[in-house]
């Protein structure tokens, strides 16, 4: 009989220790080490194949001797997902999708499984029954007759044992595998319960080996903890090729999918979806939903031109400046870095002459976006100045420039993309840095381009 081996694992980083310690030596977290049974048997551990065929050991090779043939990506009908993945699904890749409960992870994956007409998809669920998945699929397809025929290539398996799953995979040979969710799987090689650090790591290792050897793309759905990170050991995110994060309030209709790690593409791309009764709908032009429709001219509102990856977005910046009733004025920002807001307020007071020392300032980026692009600095400054003076800014104006500590307006990258997006949406004027004019061919645009070198010049032009 094989001796049972026990060890202590850190629930935060996955560090293994032979004895319990109050503080994890790897991540310095306190009281995160828990005892788990490591293994029941060594034979065939981590092997997804049930056969015992021998495999020739790998040998080192010269880099110049390695032959590479570019593999074509699998293009899904979901253009937003293709953008976030870097152009489509890479064969043999392991993609982890995380997000809050009810955000739409399972709905998105079931939609992908239903729309891949030419590929055999196996959807493995350890959380829902076949009847529950059937109900969701009917709700998705009832408004889209084009998805009905695709059900012939979508197969459902309700199972949590990895050994049983791999038996079905060998017989079924799917072209795409979806696991919902990784925290519900368990391997018979370990005695610990599903969802523990050792089980999550072992199950992911088996799926990783299957994906690389069979060149089958695998999608893993992962839960998140109360801190907002994906539950399980941090090593889980290192093992997979791509990590996608679903963001947004589940009580609102819009969802944002962004890549926090991508070995095959950029991590600066994002996808926007609208949650409807029949599933998730792609939002091909996010600027239209990020800019609120209003009839009256309101103070404290400006439009900034930003970039998310290669996609230009026009976003609405809202500010409210009011007299403080307390000794220390409040500074609150939603979707924008609070420290950068304090810096811009200091520039406004020093260079623009705005007395904000006794004023509460509240800033909001509409649509639930979190913007880190410095190109919206000028839009933030104009929004605050508009609320302070109680003078509205025209709906036909937008801004794309960075503001320095000296009050200078600095050029930003890809300014022509921002100008083109503003022109496409019907804006008549755009304010940029005069140092960016040399890279802009003004004859290509009908929109009026205004260039300034200092922030006080912009205020003089807008407010007189």
pTM (predicted TM-score):
0.76
> Residue 53 — very low, low, confident or very high, per pLDDT cuts 50/70/90?
very low
Q: Which tens digits make up the pLDDT trace of 145-179? A: 555 545 678 899 999 999 999 999 998 899 999 99
Q: Are 399 and 393 in contact (CB under 8 A)?
A: no
Question: Cα–chain-centroid distance for residue 324?
Answer: 37
Q: What pLDDT was estimated at residue 1?
A: 42
Q: Which tens digits make up the pLDDT trace of 409-459? A: 999 998 999 999 899 888 999 999 999 988 888 888 999 999 999 999 999
What SS3 string covers the chain?
CCCCEEEEEECCCCCEECCCCCECCCCCCECCEEEEEEECCCCCCCCCCCCCCCCCCCCCCCHHHCCCCCCCCECCCCHHHHHHHCCCECCCCEEEEECCCCCCHHHHHHHHHHHCCCCCEEEEECCCCHHHHHHHHHHHHCCCHHHCHHHHHEEEEECCEHHHHHHHHHHHCCCEEEEECHHHCECCCCCCCCCCHHHHHHHHHHHHHHHHHHCCCEEEEECECCCCCECCCCHHHHHCCEEEEEECCCCCCEEEEEEEEECCCCCCCEEEEEEECCEEEECCCHHHHHCCCCCCCCECEEEEEEEECCEEEEEEEEEEEEECCCCCCCEEEECECHHHHHHHHHHHHHHCCCCCCCEEEEEEEHHHCCECCHHHHHHHHHHHHHHHHCCECCCCEEECCEECCCCEEECCCCHHHHHHHHHHCCCCEEEEEHHHHHHCCHHHCCCEEEEECEHHHHHHHHHC
> Residue 41 — very low, low, confident or very high, per pLDDT cuts 50/70/90?
very low
How does the average pLDDT of the chain come out, rounded? Answer: 85
Higher pLDDT, 72 or 82: 82
Q: What pLDDT was estimated at residue 49?
A: 66
Q: What pLDDT was estimated at residue 195?
A: 81
The pair of three-digit structure tokens given for residue 240, joined into one six-digit string: 């997979």
- The most confident of 26-35, 322-331, 375-384, by mean pLDDT: 375-384
> Residue 48 — very low, low, confident or very high, per pLDDT cuts 50/70/90?
low
Q: Residue 284: exposed, middle, or buried by beta-carbon count in 10 A (0-12, 13-18, 19+)?
A: exposed
Whole-number Å distance between alpha carbons of 343 and 265: 33
Please state the rounded mean pLDDT for residues 202-222: 92
CA distances from 333 to 39, 249, 318, 376, 454 (A): 49, 17, 10, 14, 24
pLDDT above 90 (res 54) = no
Beta partners for residue 177, in sequence order: 122, 218
């Amino acid at each position: 009989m094989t001796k049972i081996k026990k060890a202590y694992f850190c629930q935060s980083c996955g560090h293994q220790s032979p004895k319990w310690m109050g503080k994890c030596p790897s991540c310095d977290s306190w009281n995160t080490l828990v005892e788990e049974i490591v293994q029941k048997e060594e034979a065939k551990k981590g092997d997804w194949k049930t056969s015992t065929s021998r495999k020739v050991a790998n040998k080192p090779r010269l880099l110049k001797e390695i032959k590479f043939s570019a593999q074509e990506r699998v293009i899904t009908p979901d253009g937003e997902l293709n953008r976030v993945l870097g152009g489509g699904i890479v064969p043999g890749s392991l993609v982890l999708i995380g997000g809050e409960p009810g955000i739409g992870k399972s709905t998105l994956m079931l939609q992908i499984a239903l729309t891949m007409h030419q590929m055999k998809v196996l959807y493995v669920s350890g959380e829902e029954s076949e009847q529950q998945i059937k109900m969701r699929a009917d709700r998705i397809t009832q408004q889209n007759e084009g998805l009905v025929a695709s059900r012939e290539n979508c197969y459902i398996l309700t199972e949590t044992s990895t050994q049983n799953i791999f038996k079905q995979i060998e017989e079924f040979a799917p072209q795409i595998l979806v696991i919902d969710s990784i925290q519900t799987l368990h391997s018979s090689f370990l005695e610990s319960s599903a969802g523990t650090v050792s089980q999550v790591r072992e199950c992911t290792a088996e799926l990783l080996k299957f994906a690389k050897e069979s060149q089958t793309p695998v999608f893993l759905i992962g839960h998140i903890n109360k801190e907002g990170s994906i539950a399980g050991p941090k090593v889980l995110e290192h093992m997979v090729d791509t990590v996608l994060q679903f963001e947004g309030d589940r009580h609102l209709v819009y969802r944002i999918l962004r890549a926090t790690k991508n070995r095959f593409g950029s991590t600066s791309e994002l996808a926007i979806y609208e949650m409807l009764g029949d599933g998730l709908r792609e939002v091909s032009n996010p600027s239209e939903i990020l800019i609120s429709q209003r009839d009256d001219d309101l103070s404290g509102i400006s439009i900034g031109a930003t970039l998310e990856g290669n996609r230009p977005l026009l976003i609405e910046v809202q500010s409210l400046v009011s007299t403080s009733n307390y000794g220390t004025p409040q500074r609150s920002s939603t979707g924008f870095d609070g420290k950068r807001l304090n810096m811009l307020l200091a520039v406004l007071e020093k260079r623009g002459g705005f007395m904000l020392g006794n004023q509460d300032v509240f800033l909001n980026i509409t649509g639930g976006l979190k913007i880190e692009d410095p190109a919206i600095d000028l839009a933030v400054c104009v929004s605050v100045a508009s609320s302070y003076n109680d003078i509205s800014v025209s709906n036909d104006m937008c801004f794309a420039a960075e503001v320095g500590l000296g009050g200078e307006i600095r050029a930003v990258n890809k300014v022509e993309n921002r100008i083109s997006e503003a022109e496409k949406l019907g804006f008549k004027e755009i304010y940029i840095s005069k140092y960016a004019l040399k890279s802009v061919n003004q004859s290509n645009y009908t929109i009026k381009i205004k260039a300034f070198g200092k922030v006080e010049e912009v205020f003089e032009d807008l407010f007189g």
